[in-house]
């Protein structure tokens, strides 16, 4: 293992009864990288993150975080990580501030640092006026922001964000993108899952496409698109859309000239890559 590697996953298998949710997954995430897991519902994204962040056990394989084998040294590994789950996991009986304090205590933060950090992050997320309200009185979007602040409070070296922006309105989503970018600039290693193509494309250094519990492609977004063909020709004929991909605009134009129907020539995006590789759309159920 190199010092460059923040997370090393080898042969990860996780089963639920007869169902294999993660099926021999290998992945190395570099220190300081912003990595995106892109995949349809049920592909195994959440389960993988839950295994790596020690929220659940696994059946086969090894996982190392920041040099610590998470099975042998779970406490040391946990100290490096902050987790935001797909289903927000705040204590409903507490206020937002009390939740933050309990997270800070779990990570042994001093009171002064904790209070400074709570006010700094709450200001950033516009959470100030909600801090002393019970969790249950807030809408989903506000709960999500509060959960994100909790996970970031102790300045973890690795941050897991499981669909951080799903269910957020566009303003909150942009705000969160800014936070993620600034954490990335500061050197935090970030792994996020998303089914928003533009989120993966605009934020992530590398993207892993996951399907049926395995990584089926992994690269920087541009290279993934080039593999399929950088230029897409989209044709709508009799209400049916078909796609074909080309290396150059010239080749695409030559092909398009021979077509009837409504033809669009555009850059290939990650959604195209995804559909080509899996035969499914990102929003589809497996
Ligand atoms: N607690 C569980 N019990 C049984 N099956 C589960 C459980 N969690 C996930 N699964 C199954 O494992 C597969 C992967 O799920 P998940 O990791 O949540 O996918 P994703 O996050 O990519 O949508 C799915 O088929 C899902 O139904
Ligand atoms: Mg999920």
Taking the mean position of all CA atoms in its chain, how far away is CA 17? 26
Quote the pTM value.
0.85
Q: pLDDT per residue over 143-167, tens digit each?
A: 888 888 888 888 889 999 898 888 7
CB 65 within 8 A of CB 10: no
Q: Give the C-alpha separation, 77 to 65, whole Å.
A: 6
Residue 86: per-residue pLDDT: 62
CATH code reported for the domain at 33-46+75-219: 3.40.50.300
| Nearest of 100, 170, 174 to residue 135 by alpha carbon | 100
The response to whether residue 212 sits with its C-beta less than 6 Å from ligand 1 reads no
Ligand 1, pocket-test mutation among 15, 20, 21, 50, most atoms within 8 A of CB: 21
Question: Nearest residue CA, atom 3 of ligand 1?
Answer: 16
Q: Which two tokens stand for residue 203?
A: 């934020």
- DSSP assignment letter at 100: H
Residue 227: per-residue pLDDT: 93
Question: Nearest residue CA, atom 6 of ligand 1?
Answer: 16
Tell how far the Cα of 84 is from the centroid of ligand 2, in angstroms. 12
Q: Which stretches of the chain score pLDDT less than 70?
A: 1-2, 84-88, 281-286
Beta-carbon count within 10 A of 275 CB: 15
Q: Give the C-alpha separation, 60 to 25, whole Å.
A: 10
Q: Indicate the burial class of 32 (C-beta count within 10 angstroms; 0-12, 13-18, 19 or more).
A: middle
Residue 152: per-residue pLDDT: 86
The response to whether residue 21 sits with its C-beta less than 6 Å from ligand 1 reads yes
Domain ranges of the chain: 33-46+75-219, 224-278
E strand or H helix at 202, and its extent? helix 197-203
Q: Give the C-alpha separation, 64 to 6, whole Å.
A: 8
Q: Give the C-alpha separation, 53 to 63, whole Å.
A: 10
């Amino acid at each position: 293992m190199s010092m460059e590697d923040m997370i090393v996953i080898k042969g990860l298998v996780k089963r639920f009864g007869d169902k294999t949710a993660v099926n021999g997954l290998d992945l190395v995430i570099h220190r300081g990288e912003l990595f995106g897991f892109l995949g349809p519902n049920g592909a195994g994204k959440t389960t993988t993150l839950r295994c790596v962040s020690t929220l659940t056990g696994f059946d086969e394989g090894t996982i190392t975080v920041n040099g610590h084998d998470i099975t042998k040294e779970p406490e040391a590994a946990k100290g490096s990580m902050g987790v935001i789950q797909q289903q927000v996991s705040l204590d409903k009986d507490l206020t937002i501030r009390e939740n933050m304090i309990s997270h800070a205590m779990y990570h042994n933060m001093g009171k002064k640092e904790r209070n400074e950090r709570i006010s700094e992050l709450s200001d950033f997320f516009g959470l100030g006026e909600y801090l002393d309200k019970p969790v249950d009185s807030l809408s989903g979007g506000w709960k999500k922001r509060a959960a994100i602040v909790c996970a970031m409070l102790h300045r973890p070296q690795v941050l897991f964000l499981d669909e951080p922006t799903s269910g957020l309105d566009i303003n909150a989503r942009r705000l969160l993108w800014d936070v993620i970018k600034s954490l990335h600039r500061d050197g935090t290693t970030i792994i996020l899952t998303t089914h928003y193509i533009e989120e993966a494309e605009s934020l992530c250094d590398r993207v892993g496409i996951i399907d049926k519990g395995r990584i089926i492609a992994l690269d920087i977004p541009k290279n993934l698109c080039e593999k399929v063909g950088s230029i897409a020709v989209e044709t709508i004929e009799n209400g049916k859309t078909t796609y074909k991909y080309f290396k150059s605009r010239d080749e695409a134009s030559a092909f398009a000239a021979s077509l009837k129907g409504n033809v669009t020539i555009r850059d290939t995006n990650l959604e195209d890559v995804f559909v080509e590789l899996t035969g499914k759309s990102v929003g589809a159920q497996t």
